[in-house]
Amino acid sequence: MWNYGYIRQKTGVFFNDIDEYADRFTMMESKEPRHRTSLAATADLPFGKGRKFGSTGPKIVDLLAGGWSVSPIWKLSSGEYLRFGPALVSGTDPSISNPGRNRYFDTSMFQLQPPYTPRTNPWQYDGVKGSPNWSIDVSVAKYFALYEDVRLEFRMEAYNLTNSFVPGLPVMAIGNPQFGRSVTQANLGRQLQYTLRLHF
């Protein structure tokens, strides 16, 4: 099963303090990722009773190798748009050709805005986004027939199977020494879960 979603939405916000005082809204593009996709499948392994291989083998073979199913799922979303606070900005496009954990955009274009000065810089820029987020999760299950209408299910689940690192959003506070740099992790490390369930 494959799924793809293209998401765009706008929300009414006050662009700056002057607009808030005048109760004047601006329709602002969402910062959420535009592209999201997933790919999932379920496969019954062809071993054991009633399957292609080993269906006539000893009972112990079916007990150990038969009746297994595997269900992987791969998820990917594009980067979230980065939101900037009020700032003095020199230039119109802070995007760079090779954004990464140490530098997501041209930080030299931004300076602290003097107090009591209305915002004039955009909230976000088309080419300035965080890192894509992705993961591979897998579940493996086996059913044991105990009685005619009673089955025991053993299931193992692995989240972030590859134990991959996805950088968190960068620091967006102008004046912070880490401005424009990611210092967090967006996902969790590999997680394993085991369950035993009785169906009747």
Element (H, E) at 6: strand 2-6
> How much is the pLDDT for 58?
73
Q: What does pTM read for this prediction?
A: 0.81
Of all residues in the chain, what percent carry a pLDDT higher than 90? 78
SS3 sequence, 108-174? Answer: HHEEECCCCCCCCCCCCCCCCECCCEEEEEEEEEEEEEEECCEEEEEEEEEECCCCCCCECCCECCC
- Please say if the pLDDT value at position 61 is more than 80: no
Cross-strand partners of 36: 5, 77
- Please say if the pLDDT value at position 155 is more than 90: yes
- Please say if the pLDDT value at position 54 is more than 70: no
Query: How many degrees, rounded to 5, is the angle at CA 67 between CA 62 and CA 69?
Result: 145
Under 8 Å between Cβ of 13 and 26: yes
**Tens of pLDDT, residues 17-35:** 999 999 999 999 999 999 9
Higher-confidence residue: 148 or 85?
A: 85
> How much is the pLDDT for 191?
96
